[in-house]
Amino acid sequence: MGATSTELFRVIALFAFVVGSWTFAPEGACQNQIKIGVLEPLSGPIAAEGRRQLNGMEVARDLINERGGIAGKQLTWVVADAPDATAAANEATRLISQEGVRLIAGTLSSSLCVPASEVAARNNIVYWEVSCVDPRFSTRGYKNTFRTEIDANGFGWYNIEFIRETLQKKLGIDLKNLKVAFVSEDSAYGQGTTEAAKKRAQELGITVLSVDYYNRNTMTDFTPVILKLKSSRPDVIVASCYTNDAILLWKQAKQLSLEVKAIISAGAVSFGSPDFGKSLGKDAEGVFALVEPAGLNPKAMSPEMAALEVEVAKRYEAKYNEKYAASAQLGAAGIWILAEVLKKTGGDLNPDKVRTAALSLDIPLGGMLNGWGVKFGADGQNMNERVQHYMLQWQDGRLVTVWPERFAVAPMRMVPLPKWSER
């Protein structure tokens, strides 16, 4: 028939090898690459922070790849822009259906993570959230959805814990006599953080004077809110804002001579954004922000992670010519944790394997980048107790870590805040 039995055997063997290669290649892996979809707001009102987060993820990715990657495979990104909720859902769909990704990471914002993760859940792929804090994210029963960051309840709890443990002593005011007012944007991030903080404050006997919500997309004048605060005279303001409205709030506070003993925020897109300090200059001095650390006491971390934190920061600042800020740190830490999971799966993105690997992680506080630990609950939420958050303060034009004491690199200043005329 033209072909010997030996030749026929060789053809069959070659076919079996090719088919076997197709059959047993890990999901999401293409030869020596592991392709991951990355979804961030790279245009629109929070684009600056979205870009910083993407940059932080890329620094972590490059370090991982330089160290041998994941089971010899290199991490590679397919990046998509999600300026709003509709785009987040549409781009998540495109990443899956057209780009063939089997895991999506993102997204900075609470308004983006929910719709994008819903698309991932419908398509049975892993969604890996590194920063959004919407409390709903981990309560929908999606078994392949994970979040390395704390949720808004954790944000709120840490804000009040800082007041309870440290700030009240610095102010010389007992909790029972302390008066607090909340100012917050009205999305899931702001409402979730604020309601959790308010509840905890009331449990401790702190007087909650007011809660004022606003729409960040339409807010152009905080005058009514500030005049209300001037009348009620809170000791502490707890604010949950995005960067632009945080800047506006504090500028108008000065213009209208709002005097307050301390002001606190939670989130990388609020008083903790580099843009807040750039815009306000010396008027930012003394403001507190609950965000990722601007340097940590290395004694509070494992030696390996202390060195890694320094290395990531140096690389980021050299490559992007800006300070290694909160959004970038969230991205880098989230990807580093993902790498720990994928090492356990050998780079396989099969959702069941990823889930099993993620739930098996048990890393103590200080054992991960940024001083974090890792322990996922069955709902995919990294336990708030393992995601240590830090109170930073603007000092001499930069953010420094001042709490908890274990991680602090500098003492607090300007507590209470002096009057505007005395600064």
Can you give the pLDDT of all 423 residues of the chain as single tens digits?
444 444 444 433 443 333 333 333 444 445 799 999 999 999 998 899 999 999 999 999 999 999 999 999 999 999 999 999 999 999 999 999 999 999 999 998 888 999 999 999 999 999 999 998 888 899 999 999 999 998 888 888 889 999 999 999 999 999 999 999 999 999 888 898 899 999 999 999 999 999 999 998 899 999 999 999 999 999 999 999 988 999 999 999 999 999 999 999 877 678 988 899 999 999 999 999 988 766 677 888 899 998 999 999 999 999 999 988 888 999 999 999 999 999 999 999 999 999 999 999 999 988 998 888 999 999 999 998 888 888 999 999 999 999 988 889 899 999 999 999 998
The strand ranges marked E within 193-241 are: 207-214, 236-240
pLDDT attached to residue 10: 45
Cα–Cα distance measured from residue 373 to residue 108, given in angstroms and rounded to the nearest whole number? 20
How does DSSP classify residue 272?
A: T
Measured in residues, the chain has a length of 423
- For 327, counting Cβ atoms within 10 Å of its Cβ (0-12 exposed, 13-18 middle, 19+ buried), the class is buried
Q: What are the structure tokens assigned to 327, written together?
A: 């959004």
For strands 288-291 and 262-266, give the pairing: parallel
- For 405, counting Cβ atoms within 10 Å of its Cβ (0-12 exposed, 13-18 middle, 19+ buried), the class is exposed
| Check whether domain 153-296+389-422 has CATH 3.40.50.2300, yes or no | yes
pLDDT attached to residue 347: 97
Name the amino acid, one letter, at 170.
K
pLDDT attached to residue 15: 38
Cα 403 to Cα 47, 271, 310: the distances in Å are 29, 16, 19
DSSP-assigned beta bridge partners for residue 228: none
Cα–Cα distance measured from residue 195 to residue 202, given in angstroms and rounded to the nearest whole number? 11
Supply angle C-alpha 142, 38, 116, rounded to 5: 35
Tell whether pTM > 0.85.
Answer: no
Return all residues near 382 (Cβ < 8 A) that are at least 6 apart.
146, 147, 148, 149, 150, 337, 372, 374, 375, 376
